[in-house]
Amino acid sequence: MGSLWEPSTHKLFPNQQVLQVFEKLAGCISSPNPHFFSMPNSLYYLPFDPISGEPYNLEIYRGKVLLIVNVASKCGFTRQYKNLEALHQRYQSQGLVVLGFPCDQFGGQEPGNNEEIESFCSLEYGVSFPMHSKIEVKGPGQNATFAALTGPESPFSGKIRWNFNKFLVSREGVLLKRFGSLTSPEAKKVVQAIENALG
């Protein structure tokens, strides 16, 4: 499990300190466990860097259904941006939030900087759902949220092997489903899972 970002300075700090911080934030008292932040209550306190704007955490989306996706601009699956935007438009009023996380770890298919990525998504696919700064979704520098989503305590554990993996999180912060790159965001099983989560 890699280290997490310190929200105030964006510097890495040791896992033991991470545990202490998140135990305080989440009101949890537990024995040291590097994966405890995958628990629903503390998932909301993980830090996020939007592609533009100020850092925040998932607390602002508490009570929403989340579809978290690692994305890339030069991938064979990049066209899925269109499907993701369609889901966003169709279900946002019911409580769905699509969250895009650019990553350059698979074939170097996200080479641009944040400004270039944001411009591409807007101009080519009309993306209006929240996008974030480029991250790593595997390895020593793995983003904390993706560590929780794919780690050993996740019900859908296992390394991400390509772009456009999709993680569906309930209104209570529980990981419900995981869909791979080959599954379109508008596939019947994805839509059904989203509608079930929305209630």
Q: What residues are annotated to the active site? A: 75
How many other CB atoms sit within 10 Å of the CB of residue 109?
19
- Tokens 């024995």 sit at which residue? 31
- Tokens 């419900």 sit at which residue? 176
User: Cα–Cα distance between 68 and 91 in angstroms, integer?
Assistant: 15
Where residue 5 falls (left for φ over 0; alpha for ψ -120 to 50; beta otherwise) is beta
Half-sphere exposure for 143 (CA within 13 Å, toward CB): 23
User: Cα–Cα distance between 150 and 134 in angstroms, integer?
Assistant: 18
- Tokens 């591409």 sit at which residue? 120
Residues whose CB falls within 8 Å of the CB of residue 89, separated by 6 or more in sequence, listed in order: 128
For 70, phi then psi, to 5°, come to -90, 125
Nearest Cα residue to 162 out of 75, 85, 68: 75
